[in-house]
Amino acid sequence: MKKVLKTFVILIILLIGLFFIIPLFLDTDYNLKRTIVVDAGKDKVKAYMANFENFQDWSPWAEMDEDMEIEITGAAGSVGSKYEWEGNEDVGKGTMTITDVSEDTVKIHLIFKEPFESESPTYYAFKDVNGKTEVTWYMEGEMAYPWNIMSLFFSMEETVGEDFEKGLDKLKNSVEELAEKPVVEESPSNIQTVEVPTRKFIGKRDVVQFENMQSFYSDNYGAINSFVAENSMELDGRPSGIYFVWEPEKGQADMAAVMPVKGLSKDFNEFETFELGGKALKIVHMGSYDDLAEPHNAIESYVKENDLSLEGPALEEYISDPGNEPDTSKWETHIYYFFSK
């Protein structure tokens, strides 16, 4: 009996020893990457993926637990937006938080809390390919020693890689269905002459390269929103863009990301102030921001044909929130050109 017990103890010690020795020779890091081409513009795909409200539509794990509890906080598609989930043993529990949004990437900090604890930098990369978008889904991580021994029985590359492929296929179908919806063409009949009440705006002005405009907006809108809330200000409209000079030959614009604020009576060190109002040509554009050149061209043609003199910068007011409305055909933008006869 003692011999059997001794043998059993030795086996246990050997197994424990192997558990700690074998992982010393195994990798702790893992990297996953899967790519797909989506037949839609880069801005449309990026806006769709950056909005956590859409994640359930293309997540490869959503169908594993239809009763999964989800909470989404923060401004959609912006730094700080968070997706929290808790479900059955197949999906576990964790969070995803957007940490950076640039012209070509959306970076996310992924934290698993259950059934194991782990943190993984994740990001989506976007590349224009002849009007289509190449989307790459990356995930990096580390299986801490000695738990990296699980790599002997579980392949992140194969198992999670297959999930990535499934998710990207669902993403492609969802976005391309939205992209197929028709875009309404602009025409002179859509142009109105209006009297715009004078409003004051606060924001940031800079000369911005075209490829950096989206990140310029997203970074500054977040800062302006925080400033407005901290100072108990009241907004007087929707997020807007003011365009002072448009230079296509240089690929840049002198512009400002702004918010209209009621009762603005002083200047601030953090932001510049602007005042706009008066007689203007107005056009309402329904559709993606990729197509905004068309209404601008329509107004500029109207100005020339009617021999009008423009005064001051152009104003774009973004009525719709792309974070809450994935269908780009429903994005509403009001464009104003101030003029005098």
SS3 string, 81-105, reads CEEEEECCCCCCEEEEEEEEECCCE
User: CATH number, domain at 306?
Assistant: 3.20.80.10
Q: CB neighbours of 217 closer than 8 A, spacing ≥ 6?
A: 239, 241, 257
**Among 115, 149, 179, residue at a domain's last position:** 179
In this predicted model, what pLDDT tens digit does every residue of 139-175 receive, in sequence order? 876 665 455 455 555 555 666 678 889 999 999 998 8
Which pLDDT belongs to residue 146?
54
Which pLDDT belongs to residue 27?
54
Does residue 149 lie within any of the structural domains? yes
Torsional sign, CA 52, 54, 59, 64: positive
**Among 151, 179, 207, residue at a domain's last position:** 179
Which pLDDT belongs to residue 22?
53
Does residue 12 lie within any of the structural domains? no
Are 159 and 62 in a shared domain? yes
**Which residue ranges in the chain fall short of pLDDT 70?**
1-11, 13-30, 75-76, 115-116, 141-160, 179-189, 341
- Which tokens belong to 50? 């950056």
Which pLDDT belongs to residue 113?
80
Are 171 and 284 in a shared domain? no
Does residue 291 lie within any of the structural domains? yes
CB 325 within 8 A of CB 333: no
Are 231 and 328 in a shared domain? yes
Which pLDDT belongs to residue 316?
96
Query: Total structural domains in the chain?
Result: 2
Which pLDDT belongs to residue 186?
46
Are 117 and 246 in a shared domain? no
**Among 179, 202, 219, residue at a domain's last position:** 179
**d(C-alpha 237, C-alpha 258), whole Å:** 10
- Taken as a whole, the chain contains a residue count of 341
Does residue 14 lie within any of the structural domains? no
Read off φ and ψ for residue 166, nearest 5 degrees: -65, -45
Are 126 and 220 in a shared domain? no
User: CATH number, domain at 54?
Assistant: 3.30.530.20
Are 168 and 201 in a shared domain? no
Are 142 and 97 in a shared domain? yes
**d(C-alpha 207, C-alpha 60), whole Å:** 41
Which pLDDT belongs to residue 52?
86
Other beta carbons less than 10 A from residue 258's beta carbon? 28
* Helical spans, DSSP H, in 74-190: 156-179
Read off φ and ψ for residue 165, nearest 5 degrees: -60, -45
CA distances from 58 to 24, 166, 173, 299, 328 (A): 38, 9, 9, 39, 17
Are 99 and 197 in a shared domain? no
Does residue 61 lie within any of the structural domains? yes
Are 198 and 87 in a shared domain? no
Does residue 16 lie within any of the structural domains? no
Domain that holds residue 94: 21-179
Query: 0.75 cut: is pTM over it?
Result: no
**d(C-alpha 157, C-alpha 159), whole Å:** 6
Residue 82's closest CA among 70, 94, 93, 98?
A: 98
Does residue 192 lie within any of the structural domains? yes
Are 239 and 144 in a shared domain? no
Torsional sign, CA 176, 182, 188, 193: negative
Which pLDDT belongs to residue 155?
54
Which pLDDT belongs to residue 187?
47
Does residue 311 lie within any of the structural domains? yes
CB 105 within 8 A of CB 125: yes
Are 174 and 207 in a shared domain? no
CB 127 within 8 A of CB 134: yes
Which pLDDT belongs to residue 78?
75
Are 111 and 203 in a shared domain? no
Other beta carbons less than 10 A from residue 45's beta carbon? 25
